[in-house]
């Protein structure tokens, strides 16, 4: 017995969970998961368990302030609209073009996208430059040349094994990047007018406001010398004007089903300027074949399986009403993400609220402040499981 070696690799899961629960430094958690395959599996299960039991399942609203370009106000809708201040890794005055897995995305006038994590000691990641000809830029400013940035996973939890997909340019095309690549891979440039993207069951799906729905695989071993992956067109672009919608989103429900959400806005005079506001949403379930994943149909539904969905410039998210009892089941919480590329008016983030599918009405969850008129739009962000309001 004296010479018996401890079998550290195969310690019971409950013992390893107790160890993980004592590690309060993120880098130590990652090192734990890198010890061996079994510990990595336990680490992933631990993170999933913490996520499901965390109050931070519900995204929080990130609001700009006038006190500093680095300070934002974080608003939780769960605790009677509680606020705290949070500091960005660097000064930022423009619109964020994405929010995914707790990271914000910003672009500069050189078309370099930076990922910022305000929850992890100011970590930033600079991505390669997006190739964008001058005649393919919007007149709304460079921060609108990148429409949306979505991550497949948290780069801190999966370093070297995550994917970034973007919607870019005046024509809203698609490109993606992996840390193993030197440059972006650009998809078929004849496919355009996209408004949202999602990682779903090992594929990327993208949808547009003209009815176009596509999927593609980014898991192949692509490098800079290979062509972009094949893009499968699941629904083609509609030519009928009545089929046009102002924004389309894709979301995975808490039960694992895929939905498309389509938004309509209306325009009215506001301070002698034509302003826009959200009018309504329609929700559609995307039916896929369980075996092949082949797209079968899109059918309109009157609920989102009881979920609450958060849309905007963020990674579109669905939260179970059981995890957000303060919210309204089968409702869509939205922030201001609509702009006309050829005529953007800096009216401020007035268009925020939630849409109830039960009665078809739009209501407010946060009162817009006039002093925010020329500040960037609000954006949803999902904090890490260990984040606590100060």
For residues 331 and 215, membership in a common domain is answered with yes
Mapped onto helix, strand or coil, the DSSP state of residue 181 is coil
For residues 59 and 49, membership in a common domain is answered with no
DSSP 130: P
Q: Which residue has the higher pLDDT, 29 or 123?
A: 123
For residues 118 and 18, membership in a common domain is answered with no
User: What confidence score (pLDDT) does residue 135 get?
Assistant: 81
User: What confidence score (pLDDT) does residue 241 get?
Assistant: 65
SS3 for 251-302 is: EECCCCCEEEEEEEEEEEEECCEEEEEEEEEEEEEEEECCCCCCEEEEEEEC
Please determine, for residue 294, whether its predicted confidence score (pLDDT) is greater than 80.
yes
For residues 297 and 336, membership in a common domain is answered with yes
Closest of 237, 288, 217, 219 to residue 259, by C-alpha? 288
For residues 248 and 153, membership in a common domain is answered with yes
Asked if the structure places residue 389 within a domain, the reply is: no
Strand partners, 219: none
User: 18 lies in which domain range?
Assistant: 9-53
Q: Which two tokens stand for residue 370?
A: 């006039």
- Inter-axis angle of helices 13-22 and 37-52, nearest 10: 70
Average pLDDT over residues 38-49: 73
Reading phi first (left if > 0) and then psi (alpha if -120 to 50, else beta), residue 121 is in left
Neighbouring CB atoms inside 10 A of 367's CB total 7
Asked if the structure places residue 220 within a domain, the reply is: yes
Q: Judging by DSSP bridges, how do beta strands 185-186 and 194-200 pair with one another?
A: unpaired
Mapped onto helix, strand or coil, the DSSP state of residue 203 is strand
For residues 28 and 127, membership in a common domain is answered with no
User: What confidence score (pLDDT) does residue 216 get?
Assistant: 95
pLDDT digits (tens, 9 = 90+) for 101-111: 999 999 999 99
For residues 215 and 284, membership in a common domain is answered with yes
Closest of 369, 360, 352, 276 to residue 77, by C-alpha? 352
Asked if the structure places residue 72 within a domain, the reply is: yes
* C-alpha dihedral (273, 145, 174, 286), degrees to nearest 10: -30
User: What confidence score (pLDDT) does residue 342 get?
Assistant: 47
pLDDT digits (tens, 9 = 90+) for 232-267: 999 988 767 667 788 999 999 988 999 999 999 888
Domain count, the chain: 2
Asked if the structure places residue 387 within a domain, the reply is: no
What gap in Å lies between CA 206 and CA 228, rounded to an integer? 15
Closest of 336, 342, 337 to residue 141, by C-alpha? 342
Asked if the structure places residue 121 within a domain, the reply is: yes
User: What confidence score (pLDDT) does residue 291 get?
Assistant: 78
Q: What CATH number should be reported for the domain holding residue 313?
A: 2.120.10
Instruction: Give the best-scoring range by mean pLDDT among 69-78, 283-292, 355-364.
Output: 355-364
Closest of 127, 140, 128, 217 to residue 172, by C-alpha? 140
For residues 40 and 75, membership in a common domain is answered with no
For residues 35 and 155, membership in a common domain is answered with no
Asked if the structure places residue 390 within a domain, the reply is: no
What gap in Å lies between CA 59 and CA 76, rounded to an integer? 8
Where does residue 267 rank: exposed (0-12), middle (13-18), buried (19+ CB within 10 A)?
exposed
Please determine, for residue 204, whether its predicted confidence score (pLDDT) is greater than 60.
yes
| Strand ranges across the sheet with 71-76 | 82-87, 71-76, 60-64, 379-381
Asked if the structure places residue 281 within a domain, the reply is: yes
| pLDDT, the chain, mean | 84
For residues 243 and 185, membership in a common domain is answered with yes
Q: Which residue has the higher pLDDT, 170 or 166?
A: 166
For residues 49 and 62, membership in a common domain is answered with no
Q: Which two tokens stand for residue 349?
A: 């983030």
What gap in Å lies between CA 66 and CA 386, rounded to an integer? 28
Please determine, for residue 311, whether its predicted confidence score (pLDDT) is greater than 80.
yes
For residues 188 and 318, membership in a common domain is answered with yes
Strand partners, 307: 320
Block residue for tokens 């897995």? 101
Average pLDDT over residues 160-176: 94
User: What confidence score (pLDDT) does residue 4 get?
Assistant: 53
């Amino acid at each position: 017995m004296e010479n018996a070696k401890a079998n550290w690799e195969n310690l019971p899961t409950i013992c390893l969970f107790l160890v993980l629960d004592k590690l309060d430094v993120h880098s130590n958690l990652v090192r734990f998961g890198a010890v061996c395959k079994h510990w990595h599996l336990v680490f992933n299960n631990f993170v999933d368990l913490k996520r499901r039991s965390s109050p931070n399942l519900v995204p929080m609203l990130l609001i700009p302030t006038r006190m500093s370009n680095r300070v934002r106000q974080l608003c939780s809708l769960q605790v009677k609209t509680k606020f705290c201040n949070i500091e960005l890794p660097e000064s930022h005055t423009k619109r964020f073009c994405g929010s995914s897995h707790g990271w914000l995305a910003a672009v500069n006038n050189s078309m370099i996208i930076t990922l910022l994590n305000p929850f992890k000691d100011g970590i930033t990641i600079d991505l390669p430059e997006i190739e964008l000809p001058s005649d393919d830029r919007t007149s709304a400013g460079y921060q609108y040349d990148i429409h949306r940035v979505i991550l497949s996973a948290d780069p801190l939890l999966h370093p070297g094994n995550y994917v970034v997909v973007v919607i870019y340019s005046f024509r809203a095309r698609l490109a993606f990047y992996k840390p193993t690549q030197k440059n972006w891979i650009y998809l078929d440039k004849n496919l355009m007018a996209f408004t949202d993207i999602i990682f779903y069951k090992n594929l990327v799906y993208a949808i547009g406001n003209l009815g176009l729905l596509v999927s593609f695989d980014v898991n192949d071993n692509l490098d800079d010398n290979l062509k972009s992956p094949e893009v499968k067109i699941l629904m083609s672009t509609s030519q009928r004007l009545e089929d046009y919608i102002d924004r389309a989103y894709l979301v995975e429900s808490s039960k694992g089903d895929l939905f498309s959400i389509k938004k309509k806005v209306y325009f009215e005079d506001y301070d002698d300027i034509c302003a826009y506001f959200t009018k309504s949403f329609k929700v559609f379930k995307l039916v896929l074949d369980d075996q092949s994943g082949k797209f079968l149909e899109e059918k309109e539904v009157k609920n989102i399986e009881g979920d609450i969905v958060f849309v905007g410039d963020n990674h579109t998210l669905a939260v179970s009403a059981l995890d957000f009892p303060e919210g309204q089941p089968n409702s869509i919480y939205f922030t201001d993400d609509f702009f006309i590329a050829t005529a953007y008016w800096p009216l401020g983030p007035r268009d925020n609220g939630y849409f109830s599918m039960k009665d078809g009405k739009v209501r407010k969850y946060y009162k817009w402040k006039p002093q925010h008129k020329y500040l960037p739009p609000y954006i949803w962000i999902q904090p890490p499981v260990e984040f606590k309001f100060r």
